[in-house]
Structure 1
Amino acid sequence: MNQNAESQTDLSNVLVAASIRADQWRQLNATARQWATQGNGKLRDACAGLLAHVQRIEHCWAYPGERLLGAVREALEDGDAPLFARLVQKVSSAILSGDYRRDEQAWDITEAPDRAVLDALPPDITGTQDKPYFEVLVVTPSDPGQWLRAKDEMRRMRRPDDAFQYAVVHVGSFEDAALAVMVNTDLQAVILVDGFSYNSRHDIPDLKEFLGRHLTIDKDEIKPGTLATSLAAQIREYRPELDLYLLSDRSPELLAGSDEAAPMRRVFHHVEEPMEIHLAILDGIKDRYETPYFDNLKKYALRPIGTFHALPIARGKSIFGSNWIRDMGHFYGTNILFAESSATTGGLDSLLEPTGTIKRAQEAVARAFGAKRAYLGTNGTSTSNKIVVQAICKPGDIVIVDRNCHKSHHYGFVLSGAQPYYVEAFPLTQYSMYGAVPLRTIKQALLDCAAGGKLDRVKVIDLTNCTFDGHMYNPRRVMEECLAIKPDLTFLWDEAWFGFARFNPLHRRRSAMGAAAALTKRYRSKAYREEYEAWKAKRGDRDLTDPASLDEHGLPDPDKVRIRVYQTNSTHKSMSAFRQGSMMLVWDDDFHQVEGPFEEAFFAHTSTSPNLQLIASLDLARRQMELEGYALTMRMTDLALKIRSAINKHPLISKYFRVATPEDMIPAEYRESGLKDYGPPNSSWGAAADAWSGDEFALDPTRLTLICGAAGFDGTQFKGLLAERFDIQINKTSRNSILVQTNINNTHSDAALLIKALADLSREIESRLSQEGAVGQQVFADRVKSLMTDVPDLPNFSRFHDSFRDDPKGVANEGHMRPAFFMAYEEANCEFVKLGSEEVDKRLRDGPEMVSANFVIPYPPGFPIMVPGQVITADTIAFMRKLDVKEIHGYHAAVGIKLIKPSVLAGRRASSTQ
């Protein structure tokens, strides 16, 4: 992404406005120093131009504020280069280091910076216990000339015992407020003072176009007298975590009870109670800052407790008093030992039957993640998936499921007795990976079940969003079109890698809970009922299970549709939680029907001795994301875009390595917008946002598929090389790629480490090839060809053997996997055939059919190429024979493929349980 100030006349890149802002101040700082040392008139003009760019949206932040910014402008106007340089350096340093959050001198126009830009350690480590800082947006009709005095008055209300401190940003219009909410990640609260105008008073030519991409209401749609409440609704939609307060002289006691005031935390009668407003703001932050379980765990660790329960490690006496493991205590410290217990009393609460702090923590999670209910998991999302599958499925239920989903789903079907109907994702053969399942494929499965008289048995659609490789579904569209066919379907969205998506508006539109909220609002509206009636009248009496409806965007009946959505997320994968920390989020209109089975499944899979630190870390992860998730997720997206650009535009690196684009990863028929890549010259972020709203699939920019095959490395080899030589850790690989995942933990230094490693390796390859003769160069070319061109075709799921199907002649392809799985428990039921043997080829050609007795999952690519009861076909065998990976779960080369004997299957009926 081009960070040149001249390119920032377009607000399309305001997704990363905070980053751009810091870059612009640093550029201004460098130019100001040149002016101060050289005294060049052209440099003064350059400073004036850069300051104009900086000031373009500077009114959206509290710092540096009117006084300091005014002093900067005055120094420029007076031609005082040394003073201008000192003031600009002061502001630039404070923005970069965050000093304005904790140092009053950063706001003082008489002070100049006299220390390094960056602290060596964060404040809490250096011993400075600072109050958390945030900013409050005040949208007011008052004269801008009064804003500075109003800020000073609010500042004087600070008290020593306030737990937090804040600064105020004033704007005077709907447009300026909307822009500030989008770009200022420090904002935590908004005060709306009735009477402000709609149009911005600033000259920002592209502001209206930018806001139009992100707001869901037009100026003409706002009714007279509802500007403040309309703005509140838009803010709630864009950044739902913000606290909203309304100051009105329109009978606030009546307004407070209306639907208009529903998004508001409190309604005040204008400004008659300034201290109450101040206290309300702090109280709102306290509610989100509070971590019920963690707070109590800290108190528990300080108490002098005698432990007579089965956990010797608690309090640490067995460790610090030991001659042999005392180093464990030195390494982990005392707190983790003092905060351990197997008791559920003293406020620690029980994860299995929460009534206190865990219950409150789960309620806070539900609020933060936009769910109706939330459950905490301490065995990872593998267990969370099994809990949900077992809770919402019973024996005989049909589940339409992505064959490439995580193995925990497949094992969940074995446990629950549900019958999977496997549907295939579109293949990305060149990378030996699959994408996501097309909506048409899912609807075809529903129609096939309807044709076989089994639609009533289809209970769940189970999909992974986003996929390991970053393919994001359009959950609103998927659920709407499927609910049109069967209005009581339940959806399980495995968002293990996508839990962070709730916290920025771009990713949220592709999340399960975001879709559940949007569809609930849509189907309850008068406008939707009118849309549905018009659509129904136009299409006549034709049944939606008619094959002709396959390519039709159907609409669910608002009187019958139920929103039943479950989302699992691996909190530890994208947020600040310990390993194995997971969450189960629920938005189910009929949860009363599921609550009992859900609790039973939760009891079945949850340890009676859960790790207290995991629970506490989930509590803290929620706090962080609710208070700064918007900033963190925007920042990690910005970083991912910069890495993409740096690799793909580098003249040397791009010869051997490149990051796959949306065009590479998503076939054109699923990218209706035509989006090919992120960032100029391919697209603006505005165009990307439009694509995310409408396209069937979109690619999460924070998940970068780095193609390494052109450098002669397979994914596993390259993963090991990065770890051994450059201390870069990677998780997922494919035949010719690795997955680089940016998250809220990454920094620009991390990005530089990766780019430097790729540059060094590219130079080494160039040097080696230049020194080798034609033979060596041909060897390299052959290696690249084997990785990038001669790739094996990806096998689709074939079918379940007839003995595991209710209707072997039917088009629906669901099967009884549970009995096939347990058949393998009896050694007499099974046989083995060597993968490379002639017997395999003979049975493929002449029979009898080979039927898998277990799951076979190669890593990579990480999806099951065989499941219990599946007929093994030639393409699956060909794929396995071409695999060059060392890790294949469920397969041991020394004994071969595990099969169910044909004699055991002969005459067996699908309804059999043995």
Structure 2
Amino acid sequence: MPKPISRILLVNDEKLVLKALVKGLNAAARQLDNPLGTAFSGVETAEQALAAISEDGDIQAVVIDDQLHRMGEAGKARGKKMPMSALELIHAIHEMRPEVDVYVLIAQQDEDEVVNTLLCEAVDGYFYRDDPDYLGWYRILSTQLLERAHTPFYDKLKQYVFMAKDAWHTPGHSSGDSLRGSPWAEDFYDFMGEHIFKGDLSCSVPMLDSLLHPTGIIEEAQQMAAKAFGAKRTFFATNGTSTANKVILQTLLAPGDKLLLDRNCHKSVHHGVVISGALPVYLDSSTNLEYGLFGPVPKAVIFKTIAENTDATAMILTSCTYDGLRYDLKPIIDAAHQHGIKVIIDEAWYGHGRFHPEFRPTALEAGADFATQSTHKVMSAFSQASMIHVNSPDFDEHVFRENYNMHTSTSPQYSMIASLDVARRQMSMEGYKLLSRTLALAGELKELINSTGVFRVLELDDLLPEEVKQDGVRLDPTKITVDISESGYTVDDLQKLLFERFNIQIEKSTFNTITLLLTIGTTKSKVSRLYDALMRISRETRAPRRLYRTPAIPHFTSLRYLPRDAFYCAGELTPLLDEADQVNQKLAGRVSADQIVPYPPGIPVLVPGQVITPDIVSYLVNLLRSQKQVELHGVVFDGWLPCIRVLTDADTASLRPLDGAE
């Protein structure tokens, strides 16, 4: 197992003093226990410090001499351009890498004045310049790093497993005993590994705390996650971000409360609308027809909708999108907050954003009240492991907890909780380093793909629909969208070729693009293998073929009834095709009882309570007949005949139409 490396940077503009500090602290590190591989180095200026912190992801803490603060401020008071002060350096470090611990060297006689100033700057501690107790300083610095690297739940889970207690409780496999020696199941035990079963425990083990009512190690792990991700409170979710979104919506919304939501949000948000009984106000996303992509909702549309619905309770947006497009969130959040509208940001694809300046600001940093993140998508957590981050100033924990417990299993997977704990530790201790590597690999991969002359990585300007090009939208460079239209392959054929011949599985596709997801687990060898595959394919020099464009999703029509009311009606299945195998025109004007979602991309064409138009029926039929394979969630096949559930006359007679509904 590789040993960790932890570097602590000293900043002091007196060369001899700096040399003595570095020498003394390194001697202390050699003399005392050093489990994290702590070593000290020094620089003389704030500018050098920032350069070192930017280049070296192993720097975990910085100790700054307060004299930088005094010299800088005194010089500026006289109107002179001076080096960056200690206070400015502290701000710059927090802006660049907020996870790095910051300490200050001060004179003992100035303690009251300096400490009062620095405590407001989230400084982790201070030492007396004139009393260099190297052993004491090292112990303090090392202890702080150990606390940040601590994984309370994972450590306790390991401890319990190694106790080897006899299990007289659930789960039924009893630490794997039911599988070992079984001719029918032992191969599963061998494949999964011993510890996956020994760590699969239940709420019958008090020392492992309770996810539904945490008061011990799970609560401690959540508090550490909150600090790492920049939240006031953080809650672990073992049912994925789908459940996290539903929990928040059900917490904030009562039946009839108004919710503003982008139509291209995850289907879990639309499910949350049904569960909460909210009145949704849908914002049509921008669309890029050339590549079959969905972009953000235009800022002008968001601002106009907020102004027209100042009585809304909440707004939820997705940032970044599946394709990596990020809103300029701060002005949007500010506009909502002016009217007391709570803002939820689905950051399922953007949980890593806090740990590298390339990706910031995050939703919480931009002022969001809630953010949900799929920790498993881009970090080292197990699938379904997610987090809910809360920064709302009037957060009602009791109401939230009641809704959280309503959706959370009373038998959560403890390995999943441990993976969240470990994912937080990894991002806190080496997230910057890993993301720097991922960004470098993304840049390299982009150049390699473009060098094939056949495949082309789409730039931000290519991806953005025209109506959002002036909205300050940014692109997450770890999501790479590749135009394949010159390759001579259809997307389905290319995906099959990559999978069967080159052992490569991609993230998603449209009719003429494939999307590659780079994470902290992406390696140089994977980049090389992908490039080799695409280069070999490009050398086949196939003539470009016509790619049939996926039909454009129709704009949202109108909502006649609350989605919850429509969903809970009995309804009836009605075919999309008539007796002549043509589009069933009788569906026009009917009201959908279900959510109909083409996947990919997962944007509902219909939601419960929405009026069906001929364009929508034609769109669904065209998708069914499309060359591109698309799942249609919500479409039911009666034999070979595709049907959707719509309201009957009896249903509509029992429902109250929404105000202004047609």
The alignment status of 1:152 with 2:23, answered yes or no, reads yes
Correspondent of 2:164 among 294, 304, 313 = 304
Structure 2 CA distance for aligned equivalents of residues 630 and 659 of structure 1: 25
Distance 1:668 1:897, change over 3 A: closer
Structure 2 CA distance for aligned equivalents of residues 335 and 841 of structure 1: 55
Correspondent of 1:291 among 123, 138, 151 = 151
Give per-residue Cα distances to partners, 1:134-156, cap 9 Å, x unaligned.
1111100222x665554333221
Query: Shift of the alpha carbon at 1:224?
Result: 9.8
Partner letter of residue 96 of structure 2?
Y
Distance 1:340 1:794, change over 3 A: closer
Correspondent of 1:499 among 343, 351, 355 = 351
Partner of 1:896: 643
Query: Shift of the alpha carbon at 1:900?
Result: 1.7
Aligned ranges 1:802-817 → 2 under 5 Å: 804=561, 816-817=562-563
Structure 2 CA distance for aligned equivalents of residues 137 and 276 of structure 1: 17
Distance 1:285 1:425, change over 3 A: same
Structure 2 contact 375–387 (Cα < 8 Å) conserved: yes
Structure 2 CA distance for aligned equivalents of residues 222 and 375 of structure 1: 49
Structure 2 contact 567–608 (Cα < 8 Å) conserved: yes
The alignment status of 1:480 with 2:334, answered yes or no, reads yes
* Larger Rg, first or second structure (1 or 2): 1
Correspondent of 1:249 among 84, 95, 107 = 107
Structure 2 CA distance for aligned equivalents of residues 720 and 419 of structure 1: 43
Query: Shift of the alpha carbon at 1:835?
Result: 3.3
Structure 1 CA distance for aligned equivalents of residues 129 and 397 of structure 2: 45
Structure 2 CA distance for aligned equivalents of residues 879 and 712 of structure 1: 27
**SS at 2:359 equivalent:** helix
Query: Shift of the alpha carbon at 1:388?
Result: 1.0
Structure 2 contact 596–634 (Cα < 8 Å) conserved: yes
Query: Shift of the alpha carbon at 1:198?
Result: 10
Structure 1 unmatched runs, 5+: 1-123, 201-217, 450-454, 517-563, 673-694, 770-779, 805-815
The alignment status of 1:176 with 2:48, answered yes or no, reads yes
Distance 1:322 1:698, change over 3 A: same
Structure 1 CA distance for aligned equivalents of residues 114 and 207 of structure 2: 36
Partner of 2:456: 658
Give per-residue Cα distances to partners, 1:862-902, cap 9 Å, x unaligned.
21111111112233233223322341111135242332234
Partner letter of residue 356 of structure 1?
G
Query: Shift of the alpha carbon at 1:717?
Result: 3.6
Partner letter of residue 632 of structure 1?
L
The alignment status of 1:626 with 2:428, answered yes or no, reads yes
Structure 2 contact 12–45 (Cα < 8 Å) conserved: yes
Structure 2 contact 593–609 (Cα < 8 Å) conserved: yes
Query: Shift of the alpha carbon at 1:508?
Result: 1.8
Distance 1:223 1:313, change over 3 A: farther
Correspondent of 1:268 among 121, 127, 149 = 127
Distance 1:431 1:219, change over 3 A: farther
Correspondent of 1:615 among 399, 414, 417 = 417
Query: Shift of the alpha carbon at 1:255?
Result: 3.9
**SS at 1:267 equivalent:** strand
Structure 2 CA distance for aligned equivalents of residues 418 and 864 of structure 1: 17
Structure 2 CA distance for aligned equivalents of residues 876 and 344 of structure 1: 51
Structure 2 CA distance for aligned equivalents of residues 198 and 638 of structure 1: 38
Structure 1 contact 255–261 (Cα < 8 Å) conserved: no
The alignment status of 1:508 with 2:360, answered yes or no, reads yes
Structure 2 CA distance for aligned equivalents of residues 617 and 339 of structure 1: 12
Structure 1 contact 137–169 (Cα < 8 Å) conserved: yes
Partner of 1:866: 606
Structure 2 CA distance for aligned equivalents of residues 898 and 643 of structure 1: 46
The alignment status of 1:910 with 2:662, answered yes or no, reads no
**SS at 1:576 equivalent:** coil
Distance 1:604 1:760, change over 3 A: same
- Percent identical among aligned pairs is 35
Distance 1:714 1:391, change over 3 A: farther
Partner letter of residue 268 of structure 1?
F
Structure 1 CA distance for aligned equivalents of residues 101 and 286 of structure 2: 42
Query: Shift of the alpha carbon at 1:712?
Result: 3.8
**SS at 1:798 equivalent:** coil
Distance 1:819 1:223, change over 3 A: farther
Structure 2 contact 107–128 (Cα < 8 Å) conserved: yes
Structure 2 CA distance for aligned equivalents of residues 416 and 375 of structure 1: 20
Structure 2 CA distance for aligned equivalents of residues 842 and 581 of structure 1: 43
Structure 2 CA distance for aligned equivalents of residues 497 and 610 of structure 1: 23
**SS at 1:188 equivalent:** strand
Instruction: Give TM-score, length-normalised by structure 1.
Output: 0.67
Partner letter of residue 515 of structure 2?
L
Query: Shift of the alpha carbon at 1:848?
Result: 6.1
Partner of 1:521: none
Structure 2 unmatched runs, 5+: none
Structure 1 CA distance for aligned equivalents of residues 314 and 279 of structure 2: 10
Structure 2 CA distance for aligned equivalents of residues 379 and 220 of structure 1: 59
Partner of 2:377: 573
Aligned length: 646
The alignment status of 1:832 with 2:578, answered yes or no, reads no
Query: Shift of the alpha carbon at 1:338?
Result: 2.4
Query: Shift of the alpha carbon at 1:248?
Result: 1.0
Partner of 2:510: 734
Structure 2 CA distance for aligned equivalents of residues 724 and 321 of structure 1: 35
Partner letter of residue 346 of structure 2?
D
Higher mean Cα deviation, 733-742 or 227-236? 227-236
Structure 2 contact 577–642 (Cα < 8 Å) conserved: no
Distance 1:712 1:306, change over 3 A: same
Correspondent of 2:256 among 393, 396, 411 = 396
Structure 1 contact 703–740 (Cα < 8 Å) conserved: yes
Higher helix share: 1
Higher strand share: 2
Aligned ranges 1:754-903 → 2 under 5 Å: 754-764=530-540, 766=541, 768-769=542-543, 781=545, 783-784=546-547, 786-787=548-549, 791-801=550-560, 804=561, 816-823=562-569, 826=570, 829-835=571-577, 843=585, 849-883=589-623, 884=626, 885-893=629-637, 894-902=641-649
Partner letter of residue 134 of structure 1?
S
**SS at 2:348 equivalent:** coil
